[in-house]
A = this chain, B = another copy of it.
Amino acid sequence: MGNDTRPPTLKDVASPAGVSVISASRVMRGAPNISNGLREKVETAAQMIGYRRNRIAGSLRGQTTDLITVIVPSMSNHVFPNIVDGIDDALQGSQLRLVLGMTKYKDSSEEDILRDMLTWNPAGVILSGLEHSDSTKEMLSNFSGPIVEVMDTDGDAIDMAVGNSMAEAGVLIARHLVAKGYRRIAYVGAWGERPKRSVKRRVAFEIELERLNTPLVTSVIHEGESSLQHGAQAFKRLLDYDLKIDAVFFANDDLALGALFYCQANNIRVPQDIALAGFNGIELCQSITPRLTTISTPRYEIGWLAGDLIRKQIAGESNSKQQMFRLDLELIEGSTT
């Protein structure tokens, strides 16, 4: 691949087109007030010599890029892929591009990734959750573009936030389980309860159970990743405690489904012997028999709205600074409770 020659620049377009460099620039980036004649001349010349914009140069001069920083824990789960899909869809039609970083559930990486990301002068930032290190908060407070924190709305947003109330989710499930007559209720989490929003959900769950005179019997927090297998493992551990648990709320559907499959494989009747409830409402919950009771979170919508807010903010179409968007949660009652 010939890197001997340098790619054509605006000067190379302007010269054969017989126009100034700045005019060529305006045509190439679709600036207003350009006559058809000029546009045509420039476009023809650009086509001819195979000109391609250099956004790096433009970004340097313009002091801002069309890059959007997105930092998520990981992609290997059923939440963030949908979020990212939503963001991307909302960014369609704009010039904005998504630059992705992953913390792999290591809280401290968020700061490092953000620090590096900011060296690219992004136009906007999307993070997950409302909890961040002090350095992260400081970097963001000095950041001039729009910032959206996704997933969680229980707390203070740096700029904008889109997500669900984790507390509401905990309360919804607590009431549901108690209403259904379960009295010895347990909780199962994973990832050592990182990120922190899972803690908010569990705590609200516990408090509501307490309020309903049905205190949480115990909780099992798996240190490792969240998966079907680990859900089954943690569930088995829970059963081994022999606490006559009659219902379990899991931090997510994967854990709950792992437990459900474990029950099916071990002739434990669900919900007669034990009831199971998950969180997120992934497609699988509705497709299996019995359908898993869960809380459906609008993941794609969260991503879409986050992307749309960023896009509008950058385009100057709206000003939603300092706003929090709390989307609806829905209890999906399956046959496991």
> A: which residues have CB within 8 A of B?
1-3, 52-57, 59-60, 65, 67, 74-77, 80-82, 84-85, 88-89, 95, 97-102, 104, 115-121, 141-144, 227-229, 232, 257-258, 261, 264-265, 283-284, 287-289, 300
Residue numbers in B under 8 Å from A1 (CB-CB): 141-144
Contact (Cβ within 8 A) A100 B101: no
Q: Give which listed residue, B53, B77, B232, contacts A287 with CB less than 8 A.
A: B232
With A120-B55, A287-B261: A98-B99 Cβ-Cβ less than 8 Å: yes
Enumerate the 8 nearest inter-chain pairs by beta-carbon distance, A residue then B residue, closest first.
A75-B81, A228-B287, A3-B144, A53-B119, A55-B119, A81-B81, A75-B85, A56-B59
Given A89-B104, A98-B101, 14 further pairs, Cβ under 8 A: A52-B118, A54-B60, A56-B56, A56-B120, A75-B80, A76-B82, A84-B100, A88-B102, A97-B99, A97-B120, A100-B100, A227-B283, A257-B284, A264-B289
Chain B: CB-nearest residue to A113: B97
Contacts of A117 in B (CB 8 A): 97
> In the complex the two chains form, is B67's CB within 8 Å of A74's CB?
no
Q: Are A75 and B65 in contact (CB under 8 A)?
A: no
CB < 8 Å neighbour of A284 from B99, B232, B265, B284: B284
Residues of B within 8 A of A67 (CB): 99, 120
